[in-house]
Copies of this chain bind each other. A is one copy, B any other.
Amino acid sequence: MTEDLNNFLESINSALQSEFDTDIRDLIGDLHPADIAVILESLPPDERIRVWDQIPLDLLGEVLTEVNDGVRAYLVEKGDTDLIAHAISTLDIDDIADLVPSLPDDVIRNVLFTSGDHSQAELDAILAYPEDTAGGLMDFDTITIRANIPISVVLRYLRLRGELPDNTDKLFIVNRDGKFTGSIVTTDLLTNDPDTRVRSLADTDPVKFNVNDSDEDVAAAFERYDLVSAPVINDDDELVGRVTIDDVVDVIREQSEHAILAQAGLKDEEDIFAPVIKTTRSRALWLGVNLITALLASWVIGQFESTIEKLVALAVLMPIVASMGGNAGTQTMTLVIRGLATDTIGPHNAWRVLRKEFSVGVLNGVLWAVVTGSIAYLWFGDYQLGLIVGTAMIINLIASAIAGAFIPVFFEKVGIDPALASGVALTTVTDVVGFFAILGLAAVFLF
């Protein structure tokens, strides 16, 4: 697949060299919208619009939902407004709702007034919930039935209704008041006697979500309980929609990308070909934060200028102590961030985790104290220097274990995303402690 796509991207590139846009049209005509989206993301801006203009009209909407936020913003800004509005009007209401935040007002107005398929009321309903809740994630493609009818009636109804929405692995049972009372697996309709009542096949306590449940909890439940679709209810137990696995897979992917990108201070869904100025500006912020922590470490070094003057070997060896602390701390921190996200680390066992990481820090501290202390001794022929490097290493590896375990828990507790903030905080601690330990010990014991 990947091979195919790569070959394909080469072909598109050749087609873009030619003058004839029909070549492009021929190439992408048979592609899935998701594949077209990858092509758009991988192309530089000027060529993006050329390809966009050649996409078959009926696929435009889906392509628009598949591209990342950065590329979508570019297409909406540079593409023909009517074309964008048309593209959007072909979409499901939940997909439209997802796009609304990134659309300019005139496009939204255009969509709402040209599209007869969707009611303003439905769109309002879905927009009422934040994007990262079950309500923001749901669609309205629920098929509801009553508990007291036989399967044969359900089958007749479904045949009249025609094709079922994707991911319809369950029908939802509601009572007269519209309250959700259970679900029935669609394949059970195939395998059971038509005279069986819905009630006798129903699961009356299936996994269900409140409109306000977070999308992370929804994703965790889908993963844990192997769901394909699940009902979404409001505070009055009324069925208001359903969440489906395809949207949940997107949430899972976004979560993991967020965790990776946030560590480097990057925004989600960055366009790899965003304008250089824009990219520079967004990255500069992160580098600025890093500069402050680096200055703090430098300030610590600055306090020991006279010590370094007396023994320059300290300047040579001090980055080793800081770097080892940073790496050891990152290992602990990564495990703790992951544990917090998967619920395997929480208040009930945080203390034990800290104790274990502390022990590992002590052991690795001793091990690398011996190694780096010996190296320092052999390099500079000064056994006191070796002792100081070794002791500083033990101190910093223990500090890094404690900081690596404590920092993410702290950020989680005060409501700051641990994936975003922990790395910078940890490096500050390990640099400051590392430099302070080696230079401070030298100042006290050597001179």
Residues of chain A whose beta carbon lies under 8 Å from any beta carbon of chain B: 1-2, 5-6, 9-10, 12-13, 32, 34-35, 38, 41-44, 155, 158-159, 161-164, 166-169, 186-193, 213, 216-217, 220-226, 228, 245-246, 248-250, 252-253, 255-257, 259-261, 263-266, 270, 272-273, 276-277, 279-280, 283-284, 286-287, 290-291, 293-295, 297-298, 301-302, 305, 308-309, 312-313, 315-320, 322-324, 327-328, 330-331, 333-335, 338-339, 342-349, 352-353, 356, 359-360, 363-364, 367-368, 371-372, 375, 379, 427, 431, 435
Q: Out of B257, B277, B298, B313, which one reaches A363, CB within 8 Å? A: B277
Q: Out of B159, B217, B290, B309, which one reaches A191, CB within 8 Å? A: B159
Q: Out of B166, B221, B277, B356, which one reaches A273, CB within 8 Å? A: B356
Given contacts A291-B320, A297-B319, contact A279 B356 (CB under 8 A): yes
Given contacts A1-B213, A259-B260, A349-B44, contact A287 B327 (CB under 8 A): yes
Given contacts A163-B188, A264-B331, A273-B352, contact A305 B316 (CB under 8 A): yes
Q: Which B residues touch A319, using CB under 8 A?
A: 294, 297-298, 301, 319, 322, 431, 435
In whole angstroms, how far apart are the Cα atoms of A195 and B328 in the complex?
A: 68
Given contacts A158-B191, A228-B228, A294-B320, contact A249 B266 (CB under 8 A): no
Q: B249 contacts A193, CB within 8 Å? A: no
Q: B10 contacts A347, CB within 8 Å? A: yes
Q: Lowest 8 CB-CB distances: which A-B pairs, in order?
A: A256-B256, A315-B315, A34-B224, A226-B246, A264-B334, A164-B187, A1-B217, A280-B363
